[in-house]
């Protein structure tokens, strides 16, 4: 099968498209013909080896974290899916940038019936990230105030819609040109990060979803009320992450130290800090499918590229200017 893969950590120019063996099917897994996949900033971080000390990958390594496609074969113990089902998922066993991928049935869900494969492929990673942050960790309730950084990004554009569905009042940060766009997504308060300082404009928030890390993460403490929650997908990892990835004993001790400073500052203000290490989850994706089919969440796609244009797609994602998601069309 044709696949996009790397044989070493490096940069976008190290991505190759060539033949790779079709992944083998296990008893609880499903073989899917991939129609479309999405490129995430996470793919660039994997490609560049940012996680190699904690989560090393085997080479050759097929890239890609989420996809939509059609079931072509099921394992002997698979009961929830059948050949011909149109599905989508965050990958767990194999990469998404390939003509075929294998995924555990527990990670898979039927794609929303009212959208295309390309739109469906844009959703798994970002919608699961938003769901696990706002529903699972923060348990956002109606009337609460939620700040979502980078509202025009892949995660932010879905998180705004989900937070509004949950009944929250939503603030977000973006550039001036994207203000009308994030307002249309449902944002109530919009901060132009180039001319305004969100920590001076906002206060007494219940939840902050940080997608930026660094100074943005630390400044976010200043907008939260006592008892608030700071959840980051870009900040330093915590104890829960160390348990989830189960590294060697040395790393298990070292990883929580990386977040000691932010956790200590948060604790002094009676704020809880969580690093979100998003996990594949077919049950949650099924709930997201219902929200898409009812019009509560709309996928946001900026550009679509052919499989052979993957390097161009990576370069565009690397600019950080994408509004929503960037899609690869793998097959018809």
The string of pLDDT tens digits covering residues 219-237 is 999 999 999 999 999 999 9
6 and 81 co-located in one domain: yes
Distance between CA 8 and CA 190 in Å, rounded? 41
Judge whether 159 lies within some domain: yes
209 and 109 co-located in one domain: no
Whether residue 8 is predicted with pLDDT greater than 80 in this model: the reply is: yes
Q: 267 pLDDT band (50/70/90 cuts)?
A: very high
> Per-residue pLDDT tens for 312-325?
999 999 999 999 99
Judge whether 289 lies within some domain: no
169 and 262 co-located in one domain: yes
Full DSSP string of 88-119: EEE-SSS-SSBSEEEEEGGGEEEPPTTS-HHH
CA 86 to chain centre: 21
Domain count, the chain: 2
Residue 99 neighbours by CB distance under 10 Å? 18
User: For residue 108, what pLDDT is reported?
Assistant: 98
Angle at 154 between CA 46 and CA 319, to 5 degrees: 65
To 10 degrees, what angle do helices 124-131 and 154-165 make? 50
With a pLDDT cut of 70, the percent of the chain lying above it is: 100
User: For residue 34, what pLDDT is reported?
Assistant: 98
Under DSSP, the state recorded for 136 is I
User: For residue 286, what pLDDT is reported?
Assistant: 98
> Per-residue pLDDT tens for 36-55?
999 999 999 999 999 998 88
Whether residue 332 is predicted with pLDDT greater than 80 in this model: the reply is: no
User: For residue 249, what pLDDT is reported?
Assistant: 84
117 and 140 co-located in one domain: no
113 and 133 co-located in one domain: no
Distance between CA 71 and CA 332 in Å, rounded? 14
State pTM to two decimals.
Answer: 0.97
Whether residue 247 is predicted with pLDDT greater than 80 in this model: the reply is: no
Cα 276 to Cα 219, 239, 242, 296: the distances in Å are 18, 11, 11, 24
User: For residue 252, what pLDDT is reported?
Assistant: 86
Q: CB-based contacts of 137: which residues, under 8 Å, 6+ apart?
A: 229, 231, 274, 276
Query: Which of 31, 24, 100, 67 lies closest to 285 in space, CA to CA?
Result: 67
User: For residue 228, what pLDDT is reported?
Assistant: 98
53 and 118 co-located in one domain: yes
Whether residue 168 is predicted with pLDDT greater than 90 in this model: the reply is: yes
Q: 149 pLDDT band (50/70/90 cuts)?
A: very high
Range of 14's domain? 2-123+299-329
167 and 94 co-located in one domain: no
User: For residue 245, what pLDDT is reported?
Assistant: 82
148 and 166 co-located in one domain: yes
Distance between CA 233 and CA 204 in Å, rounded? 22
User: For residue 298, what pLDDT is reported?
Assistant: 98
Whether residue 56 is predicted with pLDDT greater than 80 in this model: the reply is: yes
Judge whether 283 lies within some domain: no
Judge whether 288 lies within some domain: no
Distance between CA 307 and CA 155 in Å, rounded? 23
Give the pLDDT mean for 9-21: 98
CATH number at residue 198: 3.40.50.720
39 and 28 co-located in one domain: yes
Judge whether 284 lies within some domain: no
Give the pLDDT mean for 2-9: 98
- With beta carbons less than 8 A apart as the criterion, state whether 2 and 22 touch: no
> Pairing between strand 86-90 and 29-39?
unpaired
Judge whether 23 lies within some domain: yes
Angle at 173 between CA 50 and CA 63, to 5 degrees: 30
User: For residue 244, what pLDDT is reported?
Assistant: 86
47 and 113 co-located in one domain: yes
72: its two tokens:
């072509």
135 and 6 co-located in one domain: no
Judge whether 280 lies within some domain: no
Whether residue 251 is predicted with pLDDT greater than 90 in this model: the reply is: no
10: its two tokens:
């490096």
**Residue that has been written with the tokens 């950084």 in this structure:** 149
Judge whether 160 lies within some domain: yes
Average per-residue pLDDT for the chain: 96
Give the pLDDT mean for 101-112: 98
Give the pLDDT mean for 73-98: 97
| 181, burial (CB in 10 Å: exposed 0-12, middle 13-18, buried 19+) | middle
Query: Which of 203, 227, 199, 232 lies closest to 217 in space, CA to CA?
Result: 232
Q: Please say which residue of 259, 275, 291 terminates a domain.
A: 275
200: its two tokens:
């001076």
Angle at 199 between CA 195 and CA 202, to 5 degrees: 100
CATH number at residue 60: 3.90.180.10
218: its two tokens:
């630390």
Distance between CA 257 and CA 118 in Å, rounded? 40
Query: Which of 161, 136, 142, 137 lies closest to 230 in space, CA to CA?
Result: 137
86 and 130 co-located in one domain: no
């Amino acid at each position: 099968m044709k696949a996009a893969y790397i044989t070493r950590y490096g940069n976008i120019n190290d991505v190759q498209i060539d033949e790779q063996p079709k992944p083998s099917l296990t008893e609880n897994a499903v073989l899917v013909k991939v129609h479309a996949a999405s490129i995430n900033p996470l793919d660039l971080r994997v490609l560049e080896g940012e996680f190699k000390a904690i989560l090393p990958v085997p080479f050759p390594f097929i890239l890609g974290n989420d996809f939509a496609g059609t079931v072509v074969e099921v394992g002997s113990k698979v009961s929830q899916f059948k050949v011909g089902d149109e599905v989508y998922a965050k990958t767990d066993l194999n990469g998404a940038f390939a003509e075929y991928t294998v995924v555990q049935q527990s990670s898979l869900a039927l794609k929303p019936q009212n959208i295309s494969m390309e739109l469906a492929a844009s959703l798994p990673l970002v919608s699961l990230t938003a769901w696990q942050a706002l529903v699972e960790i923060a348990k956002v309730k109606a009337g609460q105030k939620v700040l979502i950084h980078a509202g025009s990004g892949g995660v932010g554009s879905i998180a705004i819609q989900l937070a509004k569905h949950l009944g929250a009042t939503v603030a977000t940060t973006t550039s001036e040109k994207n203000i009308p766009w994030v307002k249309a997504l449902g944002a109530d308060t919009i901060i132009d990060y180039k001319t305004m300082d969100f920590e001076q404009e906002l206060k007494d928030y219940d939840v902050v979803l940080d997608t930026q890390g660094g100074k943005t993460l630390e400044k976010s403490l200043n907008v939260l009320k006592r008892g608030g929650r700071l959840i980051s997908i870009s900040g330093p990892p915590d104890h829960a992450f160390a348990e989830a990835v189960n590294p060697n004993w040395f790393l298990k001790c070292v990883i929580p130290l990386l977040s000691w400073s932010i956790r200590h500052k948060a604790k002094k203000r009676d704020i809880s800090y969580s690093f979100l290490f998003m996990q594949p989850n077919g049950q949650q994706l099924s709930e997201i499918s219902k929200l898409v089919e009812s019009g509560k969440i709309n996928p946001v796609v900026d550009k679509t590229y052919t499989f052979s244009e993957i390097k161009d797609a990576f370069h565009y994602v690397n600019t950080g200017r994408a509004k929503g998601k960037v899609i690869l069309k793998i097959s018809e």
